[in-house]
């Protein structure tokens, strides 16, 4: 497809299932966020809380032992686990319905062990940040994942391209990523593109206030949280991207918005 399909919020709203009054947390999935190397615990925390904020029933965090005991201070709804071994991680993966790996993961031995262990699962995956950088070093193709690269990560995934090449032809880049890696690709940036094997979708919104750290971690958590609610992968990605943008638009400013500021608007945007 040479022309992306523009996303429209009213159409996406129809794809978000309504909740029965008798709903319980078990109806809405269990997200496992894997990440948070020493010095980068904030990324995992942002992603995990974002999954809760879009409606996931349960969210666990597999993180480094240096800070596992403090990661959920201020957000006790998150279940945090110190993970240092493959065996410990596999027991958490077994309980989860959706896995997000990458926010603050790092690329040292700890991060590589968790990444390689995670790729053994056939459960739905969302891969972001250093998960994408590790994937670029050992490319694989899977149908059950959603990859969420920014242009720099996209360049590494495509190997022979640099960031300028990605930005110069974003449509070609997202198509190449999907052809090489499969699944659903979210190429972040001003006017984010979302692709599966059949179509490419375009979010026409762009907002310079979103040019701040942590925005990608929030988006990845949103994707995982929606995916856990039994929403198809492409719809989960599209809804997350538009909700992310619309939440930022609510501030009507061009600077000074923090990634965590977006959370306050998720409930109203995702309730119809």
pLDDT tens digits, residue range 83-110?
Answer: 999 999 999 999 999 999 999 999 999 9
Q: What is the Cα–Cα distance from 187 to 185, expressed in whole angstroms?
A: 6
Residue 230 has pLDDT above 70, yes or no: yes
Per-residue pLDDT tens digits for 141-179? 999 999 999 999 999 999 977 899 999 999 999 999 999
Domains of the chain: 28-269 (3.40.1190.20)
Q: What percent of the chain lies above the pLDDT cut of 90?
A: 98
Instruction: Tell me the pTM.
Output: 0.98
Closest CA to 257 of 221, 212, 224, 225: 212
First to last CA, the chain: 32
Provide φ and ψ at 170, rounded to 5°. -65, -35
Q: Residue 161's pLDDT is what?
A: 76
Q: How far is CA 155 from CA 151, 165, 169, 176, in A?
A: 6, 8, 12, 11
What mean pLDDT is predicted for residues 30-41?
Answer: 97
How high is the mean pLDDT of the chain? 96
Residue 1 has pLDDT above 70, yes or no: no
Provide φ and ψ at 54, rounded to 5°. -95, 5
What mean pLDDT is predicted for residues 176-196?
Answer: 98
Q: Residue 2's pLDDT is what?
A: 76
């Amino acid at each position: 497809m040479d022309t992306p399909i523009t996303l429209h919020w009213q159409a996406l709203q129809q794809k978000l299932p309504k909740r029965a009054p008798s709903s319980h947390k078990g109806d809405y999935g269990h997200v496992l966020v894997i990440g948070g190397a020493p010095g980068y615990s904030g990324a995992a925390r942002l992603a995990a809380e974002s999954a809760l904020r879009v409606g996931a029933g349960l969210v666990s965090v597999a993180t480094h032992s240096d800070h596992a005991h403090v990661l959920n201070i201020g957000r006790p709804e998150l279940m945090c686990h110190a993970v240092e071994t493959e065996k410990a991680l596999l027991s958490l993966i077994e309980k989860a319905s959706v896995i997000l790996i990458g926010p603050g993961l790092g690329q040292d031995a700890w991060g590589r062990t968790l990444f390689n262990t995670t790729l053994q699962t056939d459960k739905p995956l969302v891969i972001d940040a250093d998960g994408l950088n590790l994937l670029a070093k050992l490319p694989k193709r899977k149908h059950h994942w959603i990859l969420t690269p920014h242009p720099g990560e996209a360049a590494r995934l495509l190997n022979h391209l640099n960031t300028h090449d990605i930005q110069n032809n974003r449509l070609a880049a997202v198509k190449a990523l999907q052809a090489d890696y499969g699944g659903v690709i979210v190429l972040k940036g001003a006017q984010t593109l979302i692709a599966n094997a059949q179509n490419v979708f375009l979010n026409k919104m762009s907002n310079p206030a979103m040019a701040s750290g942590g925005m990608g971690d929030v988006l990845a958590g949103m994707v995982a949280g929606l995916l856990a609610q039994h929403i198809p992968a492409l719809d989960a990605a599209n809804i997350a991207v538009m909700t992310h943008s619309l939440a930022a638009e609510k501030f009507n400013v061009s600077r000074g918005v923090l990634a965590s500021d977006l959370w306050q608007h998720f409930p109203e945007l995702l309730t119809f």
